[in-house]
């Protein structure tokens, strides 16, 4: 999976991803620095981004991908 593919997938659920060198940053759209998640793995970035987009208090079927 390429960075571009992950970025498009996360964008559809309202999560931004950026890459600087080997560091990948994931955050909510308009999120604060405190809510950002940093990793060097693209697979981990995708999993974390999808987890951010899925609120814990809502049923999973309400938060399905578009």
Q: Which sign does the torsion angle of CA 60, 11, 14, 6 carry?
A: positive
Query: What is the model's pLDDT at position 30?
Result: 84
Query: What is the model's pLDDT at position 65?
Result: 56
Note the pTM of the prediction, 2 decimals.
0.77
* pLDDT tens, per residue, the chain with 66 residues: 899 999 999 998 889 999 999 999 999 888 889 989 999 999 999 999 998 887 665 556 655 655
Residues 24/42, Cβ–Cβ less than 8 Å = yes
Domain spans, the chain: 3-63
CA–CA separation, 55 and 20 (whole Å): 27
């Amino acid at each position: 999976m390429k960075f571009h593919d992950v970025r498009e997938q996360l964008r559809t659920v309202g999560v931004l991803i950026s890459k600087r060198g080997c560091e990948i940053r994931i955050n909510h759209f308009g999120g604060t620095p405190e809510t950002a998640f940093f990793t060097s793995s693209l697979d981990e970035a995708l999993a974390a981004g999808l987890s951010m987009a899925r609120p814990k208090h809502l049923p999973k079927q309400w938060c399905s991908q578009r």
